[in-house]
Amino acid sequence: MSAGAAAARYDCIVIGGGHNGLTCAAYLARAGRSVLVLEAAERLGGAAVTREFAPGFSVSACAHLLHLMPGSLVSELDLATHGLKLAAERMPTIALSADDAHLPLGPEGAAALAAHSQRDAAAYPLYCERLGRLAAALRPVLSATPPRLGSAEWKDRTALLGLGWRLRALGRRDLRELLRIGPMCVQDLLDEHFESSLLKGALAFDAVLGSNYGPRSPGTVFTLLYRLAAAAGEGAGLAQPAGGLGSLSEALGRAARAAGVEIRTGAPVTRIRVHEDRAAGVVLQSGEEIAGRVVVSSADPKTTFLRLLGSEHLDAGFVRRIVHLRARGLAAKLHVALDGPPQFAGLAPSALGARLLWAPTPQHIERAYNHAKYREYSSSPVLEITVPTIADPTLAPAGCHVLSVVAQYAPYELAGGWTEARPRFTELLIDTLAALAPGLRAQLRHAELLTPADIEREFRMTGGHWHHAELALDQFFVLRPVPGVAQYRAPVGGLFLCGAGCHPGGGVMGIAGRNAARQVVREAA
Amino acid sequence: MSRPAPTRHDAIVVGAGHNGLVAACYLARAGLDVLVLERNPYIGGAAVSRRLYDGFTYSNCSYVCSLLRTEIIRALELPRFGLQIIPYEGGCTLMRGGGHLALYDNHDALRREFARHSRRDAESYDRFVRDMLRHCRFIKPLLLRTPPDPSSFRPRDLSELLWLGRHFSGLGEARLYDTLRFFTMSCADMLEEYFESEIVKAHLAGSSIIGTALGPRSPGSAYVLLHHYMGSIDGAVGAWGFARGGMGAITRALAASLEASGGRVRAEAPVERITVRNGRASGVVLAGGEEIRAPIVVSNLDVKRTFLESVDPRELPGEFLDSVRKFKIRGSSGKLNIALDGLPQFPAIPQGSPCTRGDMHVTDTLEMLERGYDDWKEGRWSRSPYVDMLIPSQIDPTMAPDGKHYMSVFVQYCPYRLADGEWTAAKRQAFGETVIGAIARHSPNFRDLILHAEIRTPQDIENDVGLTEGNIFQGELSFDQLLFNRPVPGYAQYRAPLKGLYMCGASTHPGGGVMGAPGANAAGEILRDLGRHS
């Protein structure tokens, strides 16, 4: 039978049970739509999952911190009652230094900073305050659907005027500063304010984390402001859900179900069915066809358009844009099982609950980045280290601990491929850690490295990039993921996007899912 | 001895570079009594022809005439005053291992040449040129306009912002996104969307890093490419060409045009400071102590020289001085000027091919270019530098004696400060040797032909020409320093925060390259303040 003729059983079919897919589904159901979520894996969560990587040792397998999800979203979906508990919140950040003069960031580190540089200690609060102001002004942009430029529609024009007005409301001095520093490279910004290379290294790290750039790349102040804007105001700061990020996904799943969403796991979608030039449903690997009036994909744009939909349904110019969409992951994830607490030289055991950064100087980061440009992995990588078992012992056997480490740069398209490079890079990372935490090797029981290639395979994101599409000025807001679909609406009727590849991007934020749901409700009644 | 009473003029221009002269010309044509003061015994700033070795004429700083605005050439009647521009006949990139990519001004020949390297790239080239032309058409009207201040509510700024908005949306939705992307992209990402052949990408990418502290993978470098393309694709008189008699011919023609309309240029008159009387610029004092008065002082110097060295800081707002200190002027380029005993052979290139009568390069991959930038970041000159070499004497016989040739070699990257300490004569030699070696690799008889070589590091350029750090654009062309951010936010309209003092150098919008637009725009603002709309 022609499934096109089959009555749609669902108003909306959401492809992918990651945090954005689930968020989108929950909001759609709350708006009265009948929703089906199809997740390829056996469990929900996409890149926000907790899984065992060694007997008895579990870890948040991809994303390992929760800090960008708006408090409003958490409360609207009532995630607390659906089981989201935070094992740690407002986690401090500590910049690790080779000479053990580690530097806690934020107010608690004021004294330590003064020890590094009196001048910086004076400058730092002002710097934070100003960037905070600019980020706060940008924050509403994240939750807004990007307007279409040059369109005659009043809603686009008013959106643009509103944006312009908000920026002008910053006042002359801040507006000028925003327009000046926005496109700048973070190194220049930091050099204007500070002298301590340890402080500059730590601040630069957050600007390039998850981006395909180094501190000297123009536009990295923008990525920093983006991160600050997302983290601004509400929310519990850097947080670690009890049971890892998987429990966030489970909470989202429960919230969605409670709202009436039907969820099927182990149901990989192989095709988006098009009937009379409209998305009419999906085809599963099993061959089963499910009809839906609207299909919303949380898969990355390349997967959605080139694999699931198929370029035959798109015009050549659009396909070219999708092909050129940059999504080359360059962050690797290292999981280490230890049979004791790691001992970082010069770091009090009480400080292990913090987020530890190994990026001693901006130059160190820049040199690490240089390798990525030539498809090599960094010979001295930069690291974001957490010890989730400090706040949440349930993740490991009694007395044992887990290191969860994001390591840059590890380019997706490594020259020579990852298969034989993986063990070498793993060793390099463990050596780097052991240099900071002597005795680590003696405690080491098991280590697992997820390269971007592995992340692509396990979490089904093209290029293994956790933002689905690189965050850069030329792939942001009205240009994200590519011009024409920034409003979450695909060029094919009835098809929408709700993943990290859309505005405002990834990082366990959920805003893309919420924005997309709003658009679907508006446009596909 | 008693000093004679200070002479008076309507306007003084500090620095006889091309922008200073352009500004002076426009002011003089509006009837002002203008005096241009030049520190060096010769005029021209960075657009000069020097005789540093007998019989040879060196364009020893800037070396191609590509961006000089047609509007200015016409308005100031430069051809009448002797300016003659001879277009390139081609260009090429020599490959390691012997191959080459030739560029011809004949489009069909060019396509055939591209197809030799990649059939697909030959197809894409038309799309590339079409898009570049469109970006040029978008940007060109902005060049000769004063940027609005987006933080101001003055009617003029608002209407100019409105004009910008209309100009922008005039592109139509799809194009508009492309333009937005283009201005924020890296040159490498942009080129990879069109081309697959490394040599094609490498050749085109060259222009994206000339004079900047960016690499081809740095976002924003696509715009720099466009900045250099504005000449090269410009259909106007002699796009990408040699000025007959060297680059000095341009400034000589400007000076002649100036004198014809009653202005004067005085060489060997180094300005020591700009004088201020009751809160407004009142003239200048020369190194000798001589004072010259004028109610209008126009500085062709870069902003750091103007405001940090020539004006009493107490006369300027601290916040402004702060932004001037933050303004990025980075030395990243060197220059070799070489007198040759004959025409060097390039075995890779077929005899008599016109592609040697244009810009020649030896950088054949994007990676080579990017690694050159990595060297600069580490405070050393590129070990395999990007060179833009020209032999103008092939086309303009006035540049060298019969049978001999002058070669101009622009070099990217060369740092102003070396990681291993100060520049020394020995290091300068080593730098020159690196460059000569890079060329000799492609030309067996090159070394033996060298009669004389002038090697200029960014420091030499700073010392001779007076450009801070030897930056050829008087300030990075990164997009945080363009349009209303150039030179500093709030002061992009050529007026200094001191009545009567103006800026007309490449530090101001639209920036460097021998374009003349800053000079013309500055003159426009001055005349507006005088109530004479020209």
Q: Model's pTM, two decimal places?
A: 0.96
Q: Tokens representing B211? A: 């004079």
State the Cα–Cα distance between residues A351 and A94, nearest whole angstrom. 8
Do B251 and B265 contact (CB within 8 A), yes or no?
no
* Span B315-319, average pLDDT: 96
B239 pLDDT higher than 70: no
* Total residues found in chain B within this entry: 534
Q: Predicted confidence band at A328 (pLDDT cuts at 50, 70, 90)?
A: very high
| Phi and psi at residue A60, to the nearest 5° | -70, 110
CA atoms within 13 A on the CB side of B170: 13
Residue A324 to residue B180, Cβ atoms within 8 A:
no
A73 pLDDT higher than 80: yes
> Omega of the bond prior to B6 within 30 degrees of 0, cis?
no
CA atoms within 13 A on the CB side of B185: 22
Q: Predicted confidence band at B238 (pLDDT cuts at 50, 70, 90)?
A: very low
* Total residues found in chain A within this entry: 525
State the Cα–Cα distance between residues B473 and A207, nearest whole angstrom. 28
Q: Which helix (H) or strand (E) holds B430?
A: helix B425-440
Instruction: Render pLDDT for A393-403 as a digit per residue (tens, 0 to 9).
Output: 999 999 999 99
A104 pLDDT higher than 50: yes
Do B76 and B25 contact (CB within 8 A), yes or no?
yes
Q: Predicted confidence band at A4 (pLDDT cuts at 50, 70, 90)?
A: very low
B237 pLDDT higher than 70: no
Instruction: Render pLDDT for A472-507 as a digit per residue (tens, 0 to 9).
Output: 999 999 999 999 999 999 999 999 999 999 999 988
Q: What b-and-e string marks burial along A222-244, b requiring 16 or more CB atoms within 10 Å of the CB?
A: bbbbbbbbbbbeebbebbbbbbb
B220 touches chain A (CB under 8 A): yes
State the Cα–Cα distance between residues A332 and A210, nearest whole angstrom. 10
Residue A175 to residue B173, Cβ atoms within 8 A:
no
Contacts for B457-461 with beta carbons within 8 Å, 24 or more apart?
Answer: B457/B334, B457/B414, B457/B416, B457/B423, B457/B427, B457/B428, B457/B431, B458/B331, B458/B332, B458/B333, B458/B334, B458/B414, B458/B415, B458/B416, B459/B331, B459/B416, B459/B423, B460/B428, B461/B46, B461/B61, B461/B331, B461/B333, B461/B334, B461/B335
- What does the pLDDT read at residue B113? 95
- What does the pLDDT read at residue A3? 43
CA atoms within 13 A on the CB side of B72: 30
Nearest CA to CA, how far is A161 from chain B (Å)?
11
Instruction: Render pLDDT for B377-414 as a digit per residue (tens, 0 to 9).
Output: 999 999 999 999 999 999 999 999 999 999 999 999 99
CA B7 to mean position of chain CA atoms: 34
Instruction: Render pLDDT for B107-140 as a digit per residue (tens, 0 to 9).
Output: 889 999 999 999 999 999 999 988 988 898 898 8
State the Cα–Cα distance between residues A344 and B268, nearest whole angstrom. 65
Residue A184 to residue B478, Cβ atoms within 8 A:
yes
Q: Tokens representing B362? A: 């030896």
Q: Name chain A contacts of B374, Cβ cutoff 8 Å.
A: 370
List of E strands, B230-365: 241-243, 264-266, 271-277, 280-286, 291-293, 296-299, 333-340, 358-361
- Which of B350, B354, B363, B343 has the alpha carbon at shortest distance from B103? B354
A5 pLDDT higher than 50: no
State the Cα–Cα distance between residues A86 and A64, nearest whole angstrom. 13
A340 touches chain B (CB under 8 A): no
- What does the pLDDT read at residue A1? 39
- Of residues B532 and B314, the one with the higher pLDDT is B314
Instruction: Render pLDDT for A181-235 as a digit per residue (tens, 0 to 9).
Output: 999 999 999 999 999 999 999 999 999 999 999 999 999 999 999 999 988 755 6
Residue A172 to residue B151, Cβ atoms within 8 A:
yes
Whether this model's ipTM surpasses 0.85 comes out as yes
Q: Tokens representing B471? A: 């930056």
- For chain B, helix, strand, coil in percent to 5 are 40, 20, 40
Query: Residue A391 CB: number of other CB atoms within 10 A?
Result: 19
Tokens 């312009």 locate to A164
State the Cα–Cα distance between residues A491 and A305, nearest whole angstrom. 10
% of chain A with per-residue pLDDT over 90: 89
State the Cα–Cα distance between residues B462 and B455, nearest whole angstrom. 13
CA A137 to mean position of chain CA atoms: 21
* Beta strand pairing call for B333-340 and B405-412: antiparallel
State the Cα–Cα distance between residues A149 and A160, nearest whole angstrom. 8
CA B89 to mean position of chain CA atoms: 21
- Asked which of A366-375, A406-415, B95-104 is least confident by mean pLDDT, the reply is B95-104
- What does the pLDDT read at residue A233? 59
Q: Name chain B contacts of A161, Cβ cutoff 8 Å.
A: none
A58 pLDDT higher than 70: yes
- Of residues B107 and B527, the one with the higher pLDDT is B527
- What does the pLDDT read at residue A167? 87
B236 pLDDT higher than 50: no
State the Cα–Cα distance between residues A357 and A102, nearest whole angstrom. 10
A181 touches chain B (CB under 8 A): yes
Q: Tokens representing B272? A: 């020591």
What 3-state DSSP class applies to B361?
A: strand
Residue B484 to residue A179, Cβ atoms within 8 A:
yes
State the Cα–Cα distance between residues B453 and B47, nearest whole angstrom. 19
- What does the pLDDT read at residue B220? 93
What 3-state DSSP class applies to A284?
A: strand
Residue A429 CA: distances (Å) to CA of A27, A338, A419, B235 = 41, 15, 16, 55
- What does the pLDDT read at residue A234? 59
State the Cα–Cα distance between residues A434 and A358, nearest whole angstrom. 12
Residue B216 CA: distances (Å) to CA of B380, B386, B487 = 18, 12, 24
- Asked which of A98-107, B359-368, B425-434 is least confident by mean pLDDT, the reply is A98-107
Q: What is the mean pLDDT of chain A?
A: 94
Do B20 and B39 contact (CB within 8 A), yes or no?
no
B281 pLDDT higher than 80: yes
Residues 445-504 of chain B whose Cβ lies under 8 A from any Cβ of chain A: 478-480, 484-485, 489-490
Residue B490 to residue A172, Cβ atoms within 8 A:
yes
- What does the pLDDT read at residue B233? 42
Do B301 and B508 contact (CB within 8 A), yes or no?
no
State the Cα–Cα distance between residues B475 and A273, nearest whole angstrom. 55
Interface A-B, measured as beta-carbon pairs within 8 A, has a size of 93
CA atoms within 13 A on the CB side of B79: 10
List of E strands, B238-332: 241-243, 264-266, 271-277, 280-286, 291-293, 296-299
Do B274 and B297 contact (CB within 8 A), yes or no?
yes
Q: Predicted confidence band at B234 (pLDDT cuts at 50, 70, 90)?
A: very low
State the Cα–Cα distance between residues A28 and B273, nearest whole angstrom. 69
- Which of A265, A269, A343, A393 has the alpha carbon at shortest distance from A15? A269
- What does the pLDDT read at residue B87? 83
State the Cα–Cα distance between residues A495 and A520, nearest whole angstrom. 9
Mutation for testing the A interface, residue in B135, B138, B151, B180 having most A CBs under 10 Å = B151
- What does the pLDDT read at residue B3? 66
Instruction: Render pLDDT for B84-115 as a digit per residue (tens, 0 to 9).
Output: 988 888 899 999 999 999 998 888 899 999 99
% of chain B with per-residue pLDDT over 90: 83
* Beta strand pairing call for B90-94 and B358-361: parallel
- For chain A, helix, strand, coil in percent to 5 are 40, 20, 40
Residues in Cβ contact with B219 at an 8 Å cutoff, skipping those fewer than 6 apart:
A183, A213, A217, A218, A219, A472, A473, A474, B184, B185, B186
Q: What b-and-e string marks burial along A312-324, b requiring 16 or more CB atoms within 10 Å of the CB?
A: ebbeeebbebbee
What 3-state DSSP class applies to A57?
A: strand
What 3-state DSSP class applies to A226?
A: helix
What 3-state DSSP class applies to A495?
A: strand
What 3-state DSSP class applies to A293?
A: strand
Residues in Cβ contact with A352 at an 8 Å cutoff, skipping those fewer than 6 apart:
A341, A342, A344, A387, A390
- Which of B144, B221, B208, B462 has the alpha carbon at shortest distance from B329? B462
Nearest to A149 among B177, B370, B371 (CB): B177
B151 touches chain A (CB under 8 A): yes
- What does the pLDDT read at residue B105? 81
- Which of A163, A119, A110 has the alpha carbon at shortest distance from A478? A163
CA B269 to mean position of chain CA atoms: 24
Residue B184 to residue A219, Cβ atoms within 8 A:
yes
Residue A165 CA: distances (Å) to CA of A159, A161, A162, B150 = 10, 6, 5, 11
Contacts for B120-128 with beta carbons within 8 Å, 24 or more apart?
Answer: B120/B196, B121/B194, B121/B195, B121/B196, B121/B197, B121/B200, B124/B194, B124/B195, B125/B194, B125/B195, B125/B200, B127/B194, B128/B194, B128/B195, B128/B204
Residue A217 to residue B218, Cβ atoms within 8 A:
yes
A179 touches chain B (CB under 8 A): yes
Kindly tell me the number of DSSP H helices and DSSP E strands found in chain B: 17, 20
